[in-house]
Structure 1
Amino acid sequence: MRHNPSLKPWWAILLITLFTSSVTAHSVIVYPGWRGNNLHSTGNMTETDGLGIGRGANASELLYPAGMQWAYPCGGMPMSNNRTKWPIKGGAVSFQPGWFAGHKTAFIYINMGYGTIPPNMSHPMIAPFQIVSPTNEEYPGTFCLPQIPLPLNANLKVGDDATIQLVEIAQHGAALYNCVDITLAEPEDVPEVTKENCFNSTHLSARYLFAMDVQNAASSTVSSSQLTYALVPMLLVGFFGLLF
């Protein structure tokens, strides 16, 4: 796993430039790290008979014609033995959502799987939210949540292994997956969270999600445009700035 808690913005821009020609995946976990580079695609849909994952001419080779990050649960990346320490009381998660076009808006889920090789990633850590960027083209930018708790009723202790899963729901409804393998530790044993590895780019914002009964929505006089603007901004940039 590439543990890079201090990835600089200029580094991100350089990487975007390097991968633009072949990227079909869209997010990178900056902090606490990620399983590895899955920012590429291999093969084509003809070779896999229309499947998102298939075998190549070499039976041992897996092809990802649509891009690795579409593959559940961790974007085509196997479990890593190089784990990152993460606080037992919860901690930061920072990511870059705009590594390819088509993500002017996206829904974000952050989940956890228990154990060294989790059987699933079905334990939500926070409620899902929407991110909004100024463009539908690829863009640099980092989004950070400085304090994410463990899942509700998690029975975990210092030294336990787990995996944090970042899910980005694209505008067309498909999901992109990225993971970081962690070992829970006391806060003082975890690399410090700073303004360099946990910050929010000013051109990104976030919104809460809410639900409305279909029958009530149909009888409501609220227009679709009004409903869109009724989504409450989380104002994470200003709020998180107060935490440092």
Structure 2
Amino acid sequence: MVPQFLVSVFMLASIANAHFTIEYPEMRGDSFATGASQYNYPCANVNQTSSTNRTMWPLTGGSLNLDLHHQWTYYFVNLGLGTDYPTFNITLTQQLLNETGIGTLCVPQIVLPVGVTISDGQNASIQVVTVGQSGSALYNCADITFSSTATTLSGSSCTNSSNVAVAVVQASNTTTTSHSTSTPSAASGKRSGLISTGGAAVV
């Protein structure tokens, strides 16, 4: 008979493998801990505290490093300005992105949208959302402080796993033709689908 503590370890490992973590900026807290759940909006039920860690981020936008545990996922990045539980009403990913491959995805710089005004020393929070095959969204957050002296990750500190790729998902109209045996004419229609660019497969 398998000891109960081993069953618990296996269950936790299975749960962890089905989720993701933010490696940089430093994640707000452990979203695998008791009481937390990455299924909970907006930040996996991981709350801010007086000792919340904040990573210095450049004024024009900084790096993002994710550890992803799904064969493929759509992902979004949002920004909320302010110190205490800001609203994530600024999208940092203007297009739908599809990541394929289990491993590390590092974006050297996510540039802030035009019109977003940032000041040196301003606090904010980053929300990363992933959506996989089940259609359920997963959430994690990281807290930052914008700084004029902060730099982005570069070189070996920001590399992707060899099997990880990202593609922009675009809407496409594909013409299909169906033949009728009762009439000499063919009926054609439009079918909406998804295609990708950049070498990553869309499922």
TM-score, length basis structure 2:
0.75
1:71 and 2:31 are equivalent in the alignment: no
Q: Distance in 1 between matches of 2:17 and 2:84?
A: 26
Q: Distance in 2 between matches of 1:164 and 1:234?
A: 27
1:214-242 deviations in Å (ceiling 9; x for gaps): 999x823x7x9xx56x411268xxxxxxx
Q: Distance in 2 between matches of 1:22 and 1:126?
A: 27
Q: 1:195 to 1:39 in 2, by over 3 A?
A: farther
Q: Which segments of structure 1 move beyond 2 Å, counting only runs of 4 or more? A: 21-25, 194-197, 211-216
Name 1:26's counterpart in structure 2.
19
Alignment of 1:2-41 (within 5 A): 19-23=12-16, 26-40=19-33
1:107 and 2:107 are equivalent in the alignment: no
Q: Indicate conservation of the 8 Å contact 2:26/2:142, yes or no.
A: yes
Q: Secondary structure at the match of 2:38?
A: helix
Which of 107, 120, 128 pairs up with 2:87? Answer: 120
TM-score, length basis structure 1:
0.63
Q: Indicate conservation of the 8 Å contact 1:31/1:198, yes or no.
A: no
Q: Distance in 2 between matches of 1:215 and 1:122?
A: 37
Q: CA deviation at 1:194?
A: 3.3
1:129 and 2:97 are equivalent in the alignment: yes
Percentage identity across paired residues of the two chains: 31
Flag structure 2 segments of 5+ consecutive residues without an equivalent: 1-9, 177-187
Q: Indicate conservation of the 8 Å contact 2:125/2:143, yes or no.
A: yes
Structure that is richer in helix per residue: 1
Which of 122, 133, 137 pairs up with 1:171? Answer: 133
- How many positions carry a matched residue from both structures? 178
Q: Distance in 1 between matches of 2:107 and 2:164?
A: 13
Flag structure 1 segments of 5+ consecutive residues without an equivalent: 1-16, 43-62, 134-138, 236-244
Q: Secondary structure at the match of 1:91?
A: coil
Q: CA deviation at 1:212?
A: 4.4
Structure that is richer in strand per residue: 2
Alignment of 1:138-177 (within 5 A): 139=102, 141-177=103-139
The amino acid that maps onto 2:45 is G
